[in-house]
Amino acid sequence: MKKILLVNDCKFESLVMKDYLNDIGYSVQVANEYDVFVQVRKCQPDIVIANLIMRDTTGDKLIEYIKSTNPGIICLLSSCDLIKLEDFIENKVDEVIHTPINKLGLLEILNKALSKTGNSNVKVIKDSVERGLSDISYKHTEVNLLSNPNVSEKKSNFSFCPYCGQKLAVSDQKFLFCPYCGQKMKN
């Protein structure tokens, strides 16, 4: 079983990604930007997935350092922004992940990154589909908390999340929780 180290300062994003990776057969450890290098030494991952924007650094800088000391680790950069792999090749990024992403999309990107490195164990998509992931037929699943009749709290109208800074899709829609970081929105 391949080991993945997931580096993200957003706990909500980490939980979602960790669940997806566990479901498709990976062993996953989660780290933040402050303990990433300790975790790399401790768990010796095959793959590192680092979020681009974090509080005090960026994922491409972390990847560049990881690759300088552990060139055999496959490193992927994730972001909800539209980023291109070509912009991060000099930082030794092997592939980019655009979030939000579903399990099938994640499988495809992992397979692509593994095949680039000449890894002989590239059967990830086929094996996972055979284990029952073939029923994934959605592109993006959204949870609309506002449609729940049991939710009676005051809803907040924000264009950007005050916690993670992400632009909210529709500025006139009211949110109880940020769809990116999961923080409760307050007025």
Domain-wise residue ranges, the chain: 3-133, 142-187
Distance CA 150, CA 105 (A): 33
Place of tokens 């990847």: 63
pLDDT in tens, 34-93: 999 999 999 999 999 999 999 999 999 999 999 999 999 999 999 998 888 888 888 889
Q: What is the pLDDT of residue 119?
A: 56
Alpha carbon distance 43, 45 (integer Å): 6
For position 158, what pLDDT does the model report?
Answer: 55
Name every residue whose Cβ is closer than 8 Å to that of residue 134 and which is 6 or more positions away in sequence. Answer: none
Q: How many Cα atoms occupy the beta-carbon half-sphere of 119 within 13 Å? A: 19
Angle at 115 between CA 109 and CA 117, to 5 degrees: 110
Tell whether the model's pLDDT for residue 152 goes beyond 50.
Answer: no
Report pLDDT for 57. Answer: 92
Q: Which CATH code, of 3.30.70.20, 3.40.50.720, 3.40.50.1370, 3.40.50.2300, is assigned to 3-133? A: 3.40.50.2300
Question: Between 82 and 136, whose confidence is greater?
Answer: 82
